[in-house]
Chains A and B, each alone.
Chain A
Amino acid sequence: MSLDISFIGILIGSIMASSVPLILAASGELITERSGVLNLGVEGMMIIGAISGFALMVITDNLFIAIVGSMLSGVIISLIFGFLTQSLLTNHVATGLALTIFGIGLSAMLGKNFVGIPGKEFPILFSSLRESIPFFGPILFGHSIVLYFAFALPFLTNYFLKKTKLGLVVRAVGDSPVSASNQGINVILVRYCCILYGGAMCGLAGAYLSLIYTPQWIENMTAGRGWIALALVVFATWSPIKVLIGALIFGGITILQLHMQAIGFRIPVQFLSALPYLMTIIVLVVISRDSRKIKLNTPTSLGRIFYKEK
């Protein structure tokens, strides 16, 4: 295996592809958390998105319906979380954990009949450019539309939070729901919207796995990516751009260490497998050590139950 320039291009392209579910799920969860809601159900919402996307594709043979359907299923399952935590005031942590366990179980049940069915090829964009331009071709072109969306998402999220009125409202609610409520903001409604948005993005992240990345249904196929996405949000100190960096490092080292294992580096396999987690944490800790900035980005009311005084 030679390390020529076109190989590196292909490698980077595959790293980007492997980061997509993390970017999508983490960006969605980031909005949820910025509104002060801690939803630990990311893994559960992702896996539900994965199975519903795949099942809809098999049933309707329409990838568009499959993608939209996976997002809707994420919305529906996060609605359960929203209703419990916002309307019935249950504890965020316990409810989120329950959501994950529920999602994994439900997806396994729903997915029984879909095991072993081959997926459908997902259309890729600019495939001719991918082949004709060396190095940059495989990096920039020949990806699915979901990947392009995923890479735009952190920037869109950043713009939304920093520049738009609605983003300001979300941050305000996450900072102090009581003050927001006293200012006449409907805190519960804002939080519901953020939870549902997070659900949609997690659903899409799941569908990316079962429709595009490895087009098939395997039980428990998210394999902990939801938890990584959750951790990324925290280690990226609720900054969308850092989430992108973190996801790329994690995806990158995951792919690299696989290659290193294949080449036969004299490093214990266990250490190589642990490397992505270790490096992601180290890099994110190093780039987010400005405690003042952390304080400004951290949603102060995260995980706290809010109810309106009567």
Chain B
Amino acid sequence: MATDLRISNISKIYPGCIANDNVSLQFKSGKIYALLGENGAGKSTLVKILSGVISPDNGEVFLNEKNLKLSSPLDAKKNKIGMVFQHFNLFETLSVFENLSIDATEDNKSLRVRINEILKKYNFSIDLDVPVLNLSAGQKQKVEIIRCLLRSPKVLIMDEPTSVLTEQETEELFISLKKFCDEGILIIYITHKLKEVLSLCDEVAVMRKGKVVSVSQTQNERVETLANKMVGQKLAKIKKKINVSKNKDEIFKVKHLNFYSDDPFETNLVNLNFSVKKGECLGIAGISGNGQNELFQILSGEIITPDTSIIFRNKEIAKLNPKQRREYLMAFSPEDRISQAAVPELKIYENVALNNFKSSNFFEKGLVNEKKIKEHSKKILSDFSVNTDNVELKSQFLSGGNLQKLILGRELITAPELLICYNPTWGLDVGAINYIHETLIKINDQEKSTILISTDTEELLKLSDKIAVIYKGKLSKIMPSEEVTPEKLGVLMGGGSID
């Protein structure tokens, strides 16, 4: 029997963030559907609703025109909706068989027979009696899939399934998914990887900022068109001041930046060379997961790579750690505000003190000079219009926008010569985004330089003087931003070439 899944007007609002804004979609069995969007676009919220983990504030889900009440994961299971989460829902210390038997209704003997049938049918090879923690990520995912298959699902939802897989495992997964699809299982495939959508899926729905912005047949799409839909192709309205830095000195120069990692989930960087002039903003565009994390960590000194040359203010700093680089007046704003830039459990003034300079006399003879730090923190809060003046507040109670302002304030109040930021407006509301954009423009006006690594093309076009695109760890040629269009960026971000 054919399956028809319909989502109607789903909304889910979290404090300060609309995760799903009136989402309506329709799926039919026999096809593989892609749900595409950047991080934070609302895909994961939607699939959590479909799998009963969270309840929507509004809206309904229909399976074959039957209105489903999905108030717990059990409801989704009963209604034959199977779900493979991005972060596996497995019990690491239990054996594979125990993991599969935990919600089985049959006895162990017949369950084992059924599991072995599935293993044989789809050519999976997994030892059922080893603990799950001994398995590779790909095998763990297969266990999750088997768990769904045991309940003969009508719908199978895969949330970012390839983010933990090697290329070989990805290919195997695609073969299996196509098989499931032929057997009449409706497959919803959540991803932010464009090529996967094109090679695997029949239809694609693109989500941005909690909304569905487009639904189309994948055969009518290309990498570039999808990239534009995903990141938003609105042209920047306010462009930055005219590029005045043409004849300025180079303040920061990177040569032969190579990075090689054994970890299959890190991206290798291949021979990156670029430079930044005084008062200039270099934008680095790209879809997330193309090496931005690694690049940021190398620039900030968290990772030291051999044979790389980084010249900053005429000094070689490639071997210096982040603290030493800060002393040379570099500043950093990492992507992950909560775990990398700030410690959420600490108070505001304590977070300010974390980034301490020799000159800042926050610490005297090993003791914390609370008064100095608090004064300094108060100044940051007011200078950067953070929505509180209470320096004793724990940082976790700040909204994303206010936390980002605090972090930028902390980094900028020391008047750095170069600020490197990575997705500074990720997940923020429009007001906070504007404030941060103005701040970044102001830095350049004061003859200080910035490197902006961002997945938001709109932001890059608005703020950068020069733009390069990173794709699979390689950097495109560096282009003056007036020559760059969203279309060009889309092509480069998808791995294409514009010459």
Q: Could you list which residues of chain A lie within 8 angstroms of chain B, going by C-beta atoms?
A: 165, 168-169, 171-172, 175-176, 178-185, 295-298, 300, 309-310
Tell me the nearest residue of chain B to A309, going by C-beta: B54
A176 proximity list for chain B (CB < 8 A): 89-92
Is B102 part of the contact surface with A, judged by Cβ < 8 Å? yes
A179 x B89 contact (CB < 8 A): yes
B53 proximity list for chain A (CB < 8 A): 182, 309
B91 x A171 contact (CB < 8 A): yes
Tell me the nearest residue of chain A to B98, going by C-beta: A168
Tell me the nearest residue of chain B to A169, going by C-beta: B102
Which B residues from 78 to 127 make CB contacts under 8 A with A?
A: 85, 88-94, 98, 101-103
A183 proximity list for chain B (CB < 8 A): 73, 89, 102-103
Chain A interface main SS type? helix
Is B72 part of the contact surface with A, judged by Cβ < 8 Å? yes
Q: How distant is the Cα of A89 from the Cα of B101 in the complex, in angstroms?
A: 30
Tell me the nearest residue of chain A to B131, going by C-beta: A296
Q: How distant is the Cα of A42 from the Cα of B102 in the complex, in angstroms?
A: 30
Tell me the nearest residue of chain B to A181, going by C-beta: B73
Q: Could you list which residues of chain B lie within 8 angstroms of chain A, going by C-beta atoms?
A: 48, 51, 53-55, 72-74, 77, 85, 88-94, 98, 101-103, 131, 133
B133 x A179 contact (CB < 8 A): no
B93 x A184 contact (CB < 8 A): no
Tell me the nearest residue of chain A to B91, going by C-beta: A175
Tell me the nearest residue of chain B to A297, going by C-beta: B93
A298 proximity list for chain B (CB < 8 A): 93
Q: How distant is the Cα of A182 from the Cα of B54 in the complex, in angstroms?
A: 10
Q: How distant is the Cα of A298 from the Cα of B131 in the complex, in angstroms?
A: 13
Other A-B contacts than A172-B98, A185-B103, 6 sampled, CB-CB below 8 A, are A168-B102, A169-B102, A176-B91, A183-B89, A296-B93, A309-B53
Q: How distant is the Cα of A171 from the Cα of B98 in the complex, in angstroms?
A: 10
Knowing A169-B102, A172-B102, A175-B94 are in contact, say whether A182-B89 is a contact too (CB < 8 A): yes
B89 CB to nearest A CB, Å = 4
A165 proximity list for chain B (CB < 8 A): 101
Knowing A168-B102, A182-B53, A296-B131 are in contact, say whether A175-B92 is a contact too (CB < 8 A): yes
A168 x B101 contact (CB < 8 A): yes
Tell me the nearest residue of chain B to A299, going by C-beta: B93
A-B contact pairs, 30 of them (CB 8 A): A168-B98, A168-B102, A169-B102, A171-B91, A171-B94, A171-B98, A172-B91, A172-B94, A172-B98, A172-B102, A175-B91, A175-B92, A176-B91, A178-B89, A179-B88, A179-B89, A181-B73, A182-B51, A182-B85, A183-B102, A183-B103, A184-B74, A184-B77, A185-B102, A185-B103, A295-B133, A298-B93, A300-B92, A309-B48, A310-B55
B85 proximity list for chain A (CB < 8 A): 182
Q: How distant is the Cα of A54 from the Cα of B72 in the complex, in angstroms?
A: 46
Partner of A179 from the list B77, B91, B98, B101 (CB cut-off 8 Å) is B91
A184 x B72 contact (CB < 8 A): yes
A7 CB to nearest B CB, Å = 45
Q: How distant is the Cα of A168 from the Cα of B103 in the complex, in angstroms?
A: 10
A139 CB to nearest B CB, Å = 36
Tell me the nearest residue of chain A to B54, going by C-beta: A309
A120 CB to nearest B CB, Å = 46
A171 proximity list for chain B (CB < 8 A): 91, 93-94, 98
B103 proximity list for chain A (CB < 8 A): 183-185
A169 proximity list for chain B (CB < 8 A): 102
B90 x A295 contact (CB < 8 A): no
Q: How distant is the Cα of A183 from the Cα of B93 in the complex, in angstroms?
A: 16
B131 proximity list for chain A (CB < 8 A): 296
Residue in B51, B55, B92 whose Cβ sees the most chain A Cβ within 10 Å: B92
Tell me the nearest residue of chain A to B75, going by C-beta: A184
A129 CB to nearest B CB, Å = 41
Tell me the nearest residue of chain B to A172, going by C-beta: B91
Q: How distant is the Cα of A306 from the Cα of B131 in the complex, in angstroms?
A: 24
A284 CB to nearest B CB, Å = 20
Q: How distant is the Cα of A298 from the Cα of B91 in the complex, in angstroms?
A: 12
